[in-house]
């Protein structure tokens, strides 16, 4: 977990004062059980499901789970909003678009899923892409209406969102090494 993401999660839940020391290797936080209680509240009925990825935006915190579900929390007021199911497998990456219109995820099977307007509408639509099938998607990043995806074999694809239809992924680069981080 990056320092920036951890700070965002702590601030989201009102625990920014608990952060004592943070460096590149260690994070020391008091009262971690209070944070866990709030985050894991939707998982109280099961012990098999674990959170595996998350992303933070201005209004939302979204956790991906080993079950394939997305757990969406509102930042203000602090509350659990909804569970968005997915049938593509365990989630390994989650990314909220900068304008908070779209949510993207990558699964352990290499599927990349885009869910438009999931924060505002109850009727969830899924746009699934299998360009990375069999690979591990190691990084996803929004840049406007483009979603960039990188995997463990060094393949980078871009999915461009037109106004109504999601286009097929385009392979833009291939590296000899795994893609681990993308910044816009």
Q: What is the pLDDT of residues 151-174, one digit of tens each?
A: 999 999 999 886 445 567 767 667
Considering the domain architecture, whether residues 4 and 94 belong to the same structural domain is answered as no
Q: How confident is the model at residue 176 (pLDDT cuts 50, 70, 90)?
A: confident
Give the pTM. Answer: 0.75
Within this chain, do residues 54 and 111 fall inside the same structural domain, yes or no? yes
Question: In CATH, what number is assigned to the domain containing residue 115?
Answer: 2.130.10.10
Q: How far apart, in Å, are the Cα atoms of 7 and each of 15, 56, 77, 102, 175? A: 9, 10, 18, 23, 32
Task: Check whether residue 91 and residue 142 sit in a common domain.
Answer: yes
Rounded to whole angstroms, what are the CA distances from 12 to 9, 50, 119? Answer: 5, 20, 17
Q: pLDDT > 70: what percent of the chain? A: 71
Q: What angle do CA 157, 112, 100 make, to 5 degrees?
A: 95
Residues 143 and 169 in one domain: yes
pLDDT higher at 105 or 37: 105
| Residue 154 is assigned to a structural domain of this protein | yes
How many angstroms separate the CA atoms of 72 and 65, rounded? Answer: 11
In a domain, 10, yes or no: yes
Determine, yes or no, domain membership for 66.
yes
What domain range includes position 169?
40-174
**Structure token pair of residue 134:** 């069999």
Q: For residue range 95-128, what is the model confidence (pLDDT) as tens digits?
A: 999 999 999 999 999 999 999 988 887 878 898 9
| Residue 179: inside a domain | no
């Amino acid at each position: 977990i990056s320092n920036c993401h951890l700070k965002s999660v702590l601030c989201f839940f009102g625990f920014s004062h608990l952060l004592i020391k943070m460096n590149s290797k260690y994070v020391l936080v008091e009262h971690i059980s209070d944070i866990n209680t709030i985050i894991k509240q939707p998982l109280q009925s099961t012990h098999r499901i674990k959170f595996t990825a998350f992303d933070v935006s201005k209004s939302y915190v979204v956790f991906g789970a080993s079950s394939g579900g997305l757990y969406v929390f509102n930042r203000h007021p602090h509350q659990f909003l909804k569970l968005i199911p997915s049938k593509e497998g365990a989630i390994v990456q989650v990314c909220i678009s900068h304008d908070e219109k779209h949510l993207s995820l990558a699964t352990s099977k290499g599927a990349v899923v885009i869910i438009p307007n999931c924060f505002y509408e109850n009727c969830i639509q899924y746009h699934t892409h299998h360009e990375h099938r069999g690979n591990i998607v190691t990084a996803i990043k929004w840049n406007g209406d483009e979603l960039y995806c990188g995997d463990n074999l060094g393949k980078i694809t871009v999915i461009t969102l037109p106004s109504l239809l999601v286009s097929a992924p385009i392979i833009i680069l291939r590296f000899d090494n795994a893609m681990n981080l993308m910044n816009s």
